[in-house]
Amino acid sequence: MTTPGNTTPGDVPVSQPPAGASSTAPAEYPPASPAGRGMFGVHDTGDTSGFGGLVRRRTVVTSTPKPYGEEFDEVTDALEEAYPGFADAIEAVVVDRGELTLHIKPERVLEVATIMRDNPALRFELCSSVSGVDYLGAARRLHVVYHLTSLTFRRRVRLEAAVPAEDPRLPSVTSIYPTADWQERETYDMFGVVFEGHPNLTRILMPDDWEGHPQRKDYPLGGVPVEYKGAEIPPPDERRTYQ
Amino acid sequence: MSTTDYAKTRETTEGKVFTVTGGDWDTVVQGHDPLTDERIVVNMGPQHPSTHGVLRLILELEGETVTEARAVVGYLHTGIEKNIEYRNWTQGTTFVTRMDYLAPIFNETAYCLAVEKLLGVEVPDRATTIRVLMMELNRISSHLVWLATTGMELGAINMMLYGFREREYILDIFEAASGLRMNMAYVRPGGLAQDLPENAVTLIRDFLKLFPKKLVEYERLLSGNTIWQERTQDVAYLNIPGCLSLGITGPVLRSAGLAWDLRKTEPYCGYDTYDFEVATAESADVWGRYLVRMEEMRQSMRIVEQALDRLEPGPIMVEDKKIAWPAQLAVGADGLGNSLEHVAKIMGTSMESLIHHFKLVTEGFRVPAGQVYVPIEAPRGELGAHVVSDGGTRPYRVHYREPSFINLQAIPAMAEGGLLADVIAGGASLDPVMGGCDR
């Protein structure tokens, strides 16, 4: 997993209210399920297996050593050549499962994306996708993920920028990729990431007056129990998890 | 009768309201200034028959010309991406299939390819071939709904009936294979829910014989029709740079002349071994998109035929017993369920099978940590599944790059400056499915 910064099991925020949500949030906060501890999600009585005492550590993002592979080397070399701030802006280069990920400092996203689109050796004309991932427990937990496609060279690259939940700001790429408009709005809606310079950063999927950002990991699912043939099955977010 | 019986003129936030309760018409309309009131804002949808579901368009009109158009989405948001995070990997298929409900097989396949890429497993040939077969049938059924609804919106009501009539044949095939007409959850991580039965193959062969004639019928109905031509030609123009900057892919991009089809450019599921052409047009308008989709249905039939010929008996699930769904499923009278033989085996003869079954069904399998992005060519364009795993038995994050969602951003570019009636044609040519758009 790509989480920068190690996580000690103690600092997982389990009993905070959902981010941005007040008491009028649509659902109650679920009982604490300490990510990073235990094996089956059971932490009180009921787990006699002993697995509940296990401590799981998250993996830390580590750069893949060069060479990355022919095609990926072409991309990184071209970017390094065209972008003087490469060493400063790129935090890590990860090649995993045949996909190239560039971890970028959030404030440099627009610069890097501009070069990625305009440089003749890179030519990532299409911004396929912008979305977010919440790595709860990391120092900069909110990751914004961009998938760029080069139609000329038929290759793809993933840009990833991590911002802290307390100050989730990074520049918008709508000025160079107009398609990012709605996708950045969705990321704002779901994760609360603020894209500076976006022409109209409002909610898009949730209602305008919604509180909180639903895709954050500390936002409750708000499941309801299911009754089936007389038995009650707990809501999905309260069921035993196998981590 | 005193004058107090009449309601008074009152100011509201929308402007002046006239309550007409009688009197001379000329004195009523005197209060209305046609010059200053010419600019009107029309709220089209979210409940409107020609917005393909709950799409809301806010149109600013000058006469019949659209000066500004804004699309509002989110009315069908169901939190699928959030829900997946609380179910195991196999259950994820059941959620994603409900996103773009006209192209369920594509949603499932994108998800399963992503999970398989994370797992690093190869699915058996037969499963891949059946996936291709089902995807192409699904492409035809999705394009048929497009043709049917667009026909209806542009004045060809009979096209609506014909399109949905032929789509039923494909839904029958899906039902024979999976027990369900829509939202089948047929493609599963590691393979398929169950094998393609013999009668489904017969149904497909029958359909392949019947459908070419029907396609000719549609073309006879529409292509030479003056109304159809007038409503589609030079309407909702969007060229290649426009498409790429707005992220538009699929038939809309191909109608502008760029042969960008992920089946050819970044082949998956062995599409590079099939013989087919990428349909393109030059006109970059609704007419071009019609031509592209008609040709795509023909090409899909070619692929289905080749896939049928390639079908050889074999497994439809990965060998790895730690991943493969333990149950043998069978289509019963009430849909897909555990086969009774399998239940008899685990309950009666093999305790190990029972434990194994129980573990995999309740706990699920683990997927090594990491993230992948798998794009496939759905009927509406690039459908990308960004799947993140933290090493657990549940997806950490699943995000869909939904072509309906992205493509709807082209509404202002297509509609502004055109006529109100062309908003319908342009919007329809994007083929938006709000279930996919809002997820």
pLDDT digits (tens, 9 = 90+) for A181-226: 999 999 999 999 999 999 989 899 998 888 889 998 888 888 788 8
Chain-chain contact of B82 with A241 (C-beta, under 8 angstroms): no
Chain-chain contact of A178 with B401 (C-beta, under 8 angstroms): no
Chain-chain contact of B371 with A206 (C-beta, under 8 angstroms): no
Whether the pLDDT of residue B3 is over 70: the answer is no
Contacts of A182 in chain B (CB under 8 A): 73, 405-406, 408-409
| C-alpha neighbours within 13 Å on the C-beta side of residue A19 | 22
Classified as helix, coil or strand, A103 is strand
What mean pLDDT value characterizes chain B? Answer: 86
- Nearest CB to A206; choose among B77, B87, B249: B77
Cβ(B48)–Cβ(B63) under 8 Å?
no
Cβ(B88)–Cβ(B367) under 8 Å?
no
Strand extents, DSSP E, B390-427: 397-401
Contacts of B388 in chain A (CB under 8 A): 1, 133
**Residue A214, preceding peptide bond in cis (omega within 30° of 0):** no
Chain-chain contact of A128 with B370 (C-beta, under 8 angstroms): no
According to the model, what pLDDT value does residue B30 have? Answer: 67
According to the model, what pLDDT value does residue B14 have? Answer: 60
Q: In chain B, positions 47-76, which contact chain A (CB-CB < 8 Å)?
A: 73-74
Whether the pLDDT of residue B23 is over 80: the answer is no
Structure-token match 């730690």, residue found: B322
Looking at CA atoms only, how far is residue B267 from chain A in angstroms? 11
Residue B94 sits at the chain A interface (C-beta within 8 Å): no
Looking at CA atoms only, how far is residue A65 from chain B in angstroms? 17
- Nearest CB to B388; choose among A59, A133, A151: A133
Residue B368 sits at the chain A interface (C-beta within 8 Å): no
Whether the pLDDT of residue B11 is over 60: the answer is no
Task: Please tell me the distance from the alpha carbon of residue B322 to that of residue A38, in angstroms, as a whole number.
Answer: 22
**Which residue of A2, A126, A159 is the best one to mutate when testing the B interface, meaning the one whose CB has the most B CBs within 10 A?**
A126
For the ranges A54-58, A61-65, A225-229, the maximum mean pLDDT occurs at A225-229
Contacts of B382 in chain A (CB under 8 A): 128
User: What is the pLDDT averaged over residues B137-152?
Assistant: 92
Confidence bin at B109 (pLDDT 50/70/90): very high
Chain-chain contact of A206 with B87 (C-beta, under 8 angstroms): no
Confidence bin at B171 (pLDDT 50/70/90): very high
| C-alpha dihedral, B373 to B379 to B381 to B386, nearest 10° | -20
Strand partners, B381: B378
Query: Directed axis angle between helix A70-82 and helix A109-118, to 10°?
Result: 110
Q: Of all helices (H) and strands (E), which one includes residue B375?
A: strand B370-378
Sign of the alpha-carbon torsion through B212, B217, B218, B222: positive
Query: Directed axis angle between helix B198-222 and helix B125-153, to 10°?
Result: 30
- In percent, the amount of chain A with pLDDT more than 90 equals 27
Query: Directed axis angle between helix B125-153 and helix B104-119, to 10°?
Result: 150
Cβ(A110)–Cβ(A176) under 8 Å?
yes
Task: Please tell me the distance from the alpha carbon of residue B360 to that of residue B90, in angstroms, as a whole number.
Answer: 10
Contacts of A178 in chain B (CB under 8 A): 245-247, 409
In CATH, the architecture of B80-323+365-432 is Orthogonal Bundle (1.10)
Q: B125-143: per-residue pLDDT in tens?
A: 999 999 999 999 999 999 9
In 3D, which of B56, B78, B44, B46 has the Cα closest to residue B438?
B78
Task: Please tell me the distance from the alpha carbon of residue B231 to that of residue B181, in angstroms, as a whole number.
Answer: 33
Cβ(B185)–Cβ(B311) under 8 Å?
no
Whether the pLDDT of residue B255 is over 70: the answer is yes
List, in order of start, the domains of chain A with CATH numbers: 60-204 (3.30.460.80)
Confidence bin at B34 (pLDDT 50/70/90): low
- Encoding tokens for residue A21? 């949500």
Q: Count the Cβ atoms, other than its own, within 10 Å of residue B170.
A: 22
Q: B256-269: per-residue pLDDT in tens?
A: 999 999 999 999 99
- In percent, the amount of chain A with pLDDT more than 70 equals 74
Cβ(A155)–Cβ(A180) under 8 Å?
no
Cβ(A162)–Cβ(A106) under 8 Å?
yes
Region of B179 please: left (phi>0), alpha (psi -120 to 50) or beta: left
User: How large is the greatest C-alpha to C-alpha distance in chain A, in angstroms?
Assistant: 67
According to the model, what pLDDT value does residue B107 have? Answer: 93
| C-alpha neighbours within 13 Å on the C-beta side of residue A100 | 21
Cβ(A220)–Cβ(A25) under 8 Å?
yes
Every domain of chain B with CATH number 1.10.645.10 lies at 80-323+365-432
- What is this structure's pTM? 0.83
Q: Which residues make Cβ contacts (< 8 Å) with residue B432, sequence separation at least 6?
A: B52, B53, B55, B380, B404, B407, B408
Contacts of A145 in chain B (CB under 8 A): 371, 386, 399
According to the model, what pLDDT value does residue A27 have? Answer: 35
Q: In chain B, positions 120-149, which contact chain A (CB-CB < 8 Å)?
A: 120
Chain-chain contact of B74 with A182 (C-beta, under 8 angstroms): no
Cβ-Cβ pairs closer than 8 A, A with B, add up to 125
Chain-chain contact of B371 with A204 (C-beta, under 8 angstroms): no
Whether the pLDDT of residue A146 is over 90: the answer is yes
Task: Please tell me the distance from the alpha carbon of residue B258 to that of residue B317, in angstroms, as a whole number.
Answer: 37
Task: Please tell me the distance from the alpha carbon of residue A113 to that of residue A49, in angstroms, as a whole number.
Answer: 50
User: What is the pLDDT averaged over residues A50-76?
Assistant: 72
In 3D, which of B114, B425, B395, B403 has the Cα closest to residue B251?
B403
Whether the pLDDT of residue A157 is over 50: the answer is yes
From A38-42, B160-164, B203-207, the region with the lowest mean pLDDT: A38-42
User: What is the pLDDT averaged over residues B357-372?
Assistant: 85
Cβ(B298)–Cβ(B215) under 8 Å?
yes
Structure-token match 């690039």, residue found: B382
Phi, psi of B79 (to 5 degrees): 65, 35
According to the model, what pLDDT value does residue B185 have? Answer: 87
Provide the 8-state DSSP code for B409.
G
Cβ(B278)–Cβ(B271) under 8 Å?
no
- Nearest CB to A147; choose among B373, B388, B408: B373
Cβ(A20)–Cβ(A189) under 8 Å?
no
- Encoding tokens for residue B88? 């195991």
Q: Of all helices (H) and strands (E), which one includes residue B40?
A: strand B39-44
